[in-house]
């Protein structure tokens, strides 16, 4: 689909794309190669998705040459951004696109997992749908395998379809070495030093589920992917737990 | 340092008004003036007396006066009353004694002392009430996890002694802790909130609907659609099988037991619509972290334990055993019997034993 060896970027000065990816709020996007954009095959079907498709494409590829009023210009500008996003979703699952996004991932351009136990694991952008205008972009953490909302409101309005539902999973299939070790460490709610019973009972039930998973994987001779030191953490210190509704009395200190 | 008779903002208000201090409650002077609440703090805070005076906006006393009985008495009056007859009379004498570096030491001691008092205050009745108001106003923000649907969070420390970790946020919907989104909170010591506060909060305000407003107020039509689809899948798979008459499991109402976890709230990785198998190297390994049984009464371990054993010899009274409350003959007020134990622990831990109170650890 795309040619990894050709480096056409240096032959062109990509004004619009330069401007686009360096604008505030567009930090999650990588730069799509000129060559990828000019290959019609890669744009199949997008002409019906994007208004003023040809003008928008001309703008993105810096060959826009159309005299129009400001309103029209703004419309085309908006279409160009939408077009760029839709092509972006396709581009980032190509060899070259994956490599570019991997570099951004390594630099934590998409932020770090807010979960304390994930210890600042870098995130990847993703969409919960591949259909545009369905839901905004989310961030995927490969350590806890969960989805988070972007911190900044300027990222929270980006269409998730510009990244899609598959990209982040493909990236780890293509670059398995980038998979972080999974951790069993977790937060234990406590009150005056005692574990909270309801949370502790749930955590024990979850731990059983985890052990079942490990057994299934071992049965198939598949790596479990958990941190080694975790295996040693497994035996549990037995201390007392508090019942959930037993606390009115503790609140009378003053 | 100038005339304290001016009506100026109190030290406490200005501390709580600083950027990054948005999570703090304003500890009442009554609370600080009750010596019982300060037990054990003297040894933890350098220049304790000066720090305490600064927090209470009391003019400092000269050191030499400390032996003087009369002065001591007056000092007490000063702390308790609004009038400050002796405090600023000698302010000019003292001014030259307090050099700038001294002041900055006292200032940082005052912040430490305030933080440690704050940790205790927010688990007291007036303090937890004040935090409840801040919670309702969403002063602590919401859970960043997508499946928690913007559930309101509370500040928490991972350690009760200062200098270990900065403040984190506890989400009752996924029972996990998160780093605050803004870096200005990364200078706030977690011990100033402590390990106990958020869990005690949700045990105290059991009537709060912690996942509340979520189902009725999805952020977009698409989210609503996803939620409906998830609910349908759940129904089809018989995923919520908790008997409808169960009102409490392990002391928590079923709808408040980690509402952000369980079927429909776990990310399912897909590539071009196909699920990534757990047998793939990059396949899912962490679903357990977000799982919850379809029937939450499965979590009643005590009953399960005794049922599995079958014999009745040491079986405790049903009242003690029952961790599930049902609508009829609801078992309540197990409260009293824990009170004594809790209070003892509360005081015992006030000095901050990290061994006992560290909220992070390995779970089995
Ligand atoms: Zn994570
Ligand atoms: Zn949450």
pLDDT (tens, 9 = 90+) of chain A, 254 residues, equals: 444 444 444 444 569 999 999 999 999 999 999 999 999 999 999 999 999 999 999 999 999 888 889 999 999 999 999 999 999 999 999 999 999 999 999 999 999 999 999 999 999 999 999 999 999 999 999 999 999 999 999 999 999 999 999 999 999 999 999 999 999 999 999 999 999 999 999 999 999 999 999 999 999 999 888 987 555 555 445 556 766 544 433 332 33
Residues A16, A62 contacting (CB under 8 angstroms): yes
Closest CA–CA distance from residue B83 to any residue of chain A (Å) = 25
Closest CA–CA distance from residue B63 to any residue of chain A (Å) = 31
Domain A15-178: give its CATH architecture.
Single Sheet (2.20)
Residues 119-138 of A with CB under 8 A from B: 128-129, 134-136, 138
Q: How confident is the model at residue B273 (pLDDT cuts 50, 70, 90)?
A: very high
For chain A, say whether B145 makes contact (Cβ under 8 Å): yes
Residues of B in contact with A102 (CB under 8 A): none
ipTM of the assembly?
A: 0.87
CA-CA-CA-CA torsion sign (B78, B81, B86, B92): positive
Residue intervals in chain A for CATH 2.20.25.20:
15-178
Torsion of CA B61, B67, B71, B72, to 10 degrees: 90
CB contact under 8 A, A234 and B37: no
Q: What is the pLDDT of residues B85-130, one digit of tens each?
A: 443 444 444 445 556 668 889 999 999 999 999 999 999 999 999 9
In sequence order, which residues have a C-beta less than 8 Å from that of residue B298 and are 6 or more positions away? A205, B304
Pick the CATH number of B9-61+99-122 from 1.10.1820.10, 3.20.20.80, 2.60.40.10, 1.10.40.50: 1.10.1820.10
Q: Which of B128, B286, B335 has the CB atom closest to A145's CB atom?
A: B286
Residue by residue, what is the 3-state secondary structure of chain A?
A: CCCCCCCCHHHCCCHHHHHHHHCCCCCCCCCCCHHHHHCHHHHCCHHHCCCCHHHHHHHHCCCCCCCCCHHHHHHHHHHHHHHHHHHHHHHCCCHHHHHHHHHHHHCCCCCECCEHHHCCCEEEEECCCCCCCCCECEEEECCCCEEECCCCHHHHCCEHHHCCCCHHHHHHHHCHHHCCCECCCEECCEECCEEEHHHHHHHHHHHHHHHHHHHHHHHCCCCCCECHHHHHCCCCCCCCEECCCCCHHHHHCC
Task: Show the tokens assigned to A170.
Answer: 């493909």
Residues 342-361 of B with CB under 8 A from A: 342-343, 345-346, 349, 353, 356-357, 359-361
Residue B333 DSSP SS3: coil
Give B220 Cα–ligand 2 centroid separation in angstroms: 19
Closest CA–CA distance from residue B194 to any residue of chain A (Å) = 9
CA triple B260-B266-B269, angle to 5 deg: 155
Domains in chain B: boundaries = 9-61+99-122
């Amino acid at each position: 689909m795309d040619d990894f060896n050709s480096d056409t970027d240096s032959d062109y000065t990509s004004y619009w794309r330069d401007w686009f990816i360096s604008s505030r709020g567009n930090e999650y996007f990588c730069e799509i190669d000129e060559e990828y954009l000019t290959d019609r095959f890669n744009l199949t079907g997008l002409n019906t998705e994007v208004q003023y498709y040809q003008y928008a494409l001309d703008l993105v590829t810096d060959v826009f040459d159309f005299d129009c009023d400001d309103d029209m210009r703004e419309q085309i500008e908006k279409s160009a951004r939408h077009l760029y996003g839709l092509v972006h979703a396709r581009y980032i699952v190509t060899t070259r696109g994956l490599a570019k996004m991997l570099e951004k991932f390594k630099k934590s351009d998409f932020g770090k997992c807010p979960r304390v136990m994930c210890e600042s694991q870098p995130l990847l952008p993703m969409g919960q749908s591949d259909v545009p205008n369905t839901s905004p972009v989310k961030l995927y953490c490969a350590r806890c395998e969960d989805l988070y909302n972007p911190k900044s409101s300027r990222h929270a309005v980006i269409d998730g379809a510009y990244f899609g539902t598959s990209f982040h999973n493909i990236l780890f299939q293509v670059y398995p070495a980038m998979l972080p070790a999974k951790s069993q460490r977790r937060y234990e709610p406590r009150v005056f030093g005692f574990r909270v019973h309801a949370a502790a009972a749930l955590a024990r039930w979850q731990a059983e589920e985890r052990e079942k998973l490990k057994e299934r994987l071992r049965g198939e001779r598949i790596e479990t992917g958990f941190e080694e030191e975790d295996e040693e953490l497994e035996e549990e210190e037995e201390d007392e737990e508090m019942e959930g509704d037993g606390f009115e009395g503790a609140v009378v200190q003053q | 340092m100038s005339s304290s008779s001016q009506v100026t903002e109190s030290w406490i208000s200005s501390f709580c008004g600083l950027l990054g201090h948005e999570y703090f409650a304003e500890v009442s002077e009554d609370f600080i003036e009750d010596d019982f609440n300060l037990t054990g703090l003297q040894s933890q805070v350098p220049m304790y007396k000066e720090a305490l005076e600064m927090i209470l906006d009391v003019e400092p006393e000269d050191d030499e006066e400390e032996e003087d009985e009369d002065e001591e008495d007056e000092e007490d009056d000063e702390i308790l009353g609004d009038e400050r007859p002796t405090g600023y009379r000698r302010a000019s004498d003292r001014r030259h004694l307090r050099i700038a570096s001294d002041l900055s030491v006292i200032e940082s001691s005052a912040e430490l002392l305030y933080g440690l008092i704050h940790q205790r205050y927010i688990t007291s009745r007036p303090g937890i009430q004040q935090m409840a108001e801040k919670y309702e106003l969403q002063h602590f923000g919401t859970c960043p996890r997508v499946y928690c649907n913007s559930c309101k969070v509370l500040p928490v420390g991972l350690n009760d002694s200062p200098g270990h970790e900065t403040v984190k946020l506890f989400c009752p919907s996924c029972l996990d802790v998160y780093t605050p989104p803004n870096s200005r909170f990364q200078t706030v010591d977690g011990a100033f909130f402590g390990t106990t506060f958020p869990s005690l909060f949700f045990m105290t305000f059991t009537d709060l609907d912690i996942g509340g407003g979520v189902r009725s107020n999805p952020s977009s039509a698409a989210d609503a659609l996803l939620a409906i689809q998830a609910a349908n899948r759940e129904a089809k798979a018989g995923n919520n099988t908790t008997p409808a008459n169960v009102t409490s499991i392990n002391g928590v109402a079923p709808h408040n037991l980690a509402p952000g976890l369980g079927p429909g709230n776990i990310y399912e990785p897909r590539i071009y619509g196909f699920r990534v198998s757990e047998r793939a190297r990059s396949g899912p390994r962490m679903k357990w972290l977000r799982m919850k049984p379809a029937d939450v009464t499965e979590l009643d371990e005590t009953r399960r334990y005794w049922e599995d054993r079958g014999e009745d010899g040491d079986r405790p009274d049903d009242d003690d055993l029952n961790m599930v409350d049902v609508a009829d003959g609801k078992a309540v007020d197990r409260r009293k019997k824990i009170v004594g134990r809790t209070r003892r622990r509360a005081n015992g831990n006030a000095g901050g034993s990290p061994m006992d109170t560290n909220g992070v650890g390995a779970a089995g």
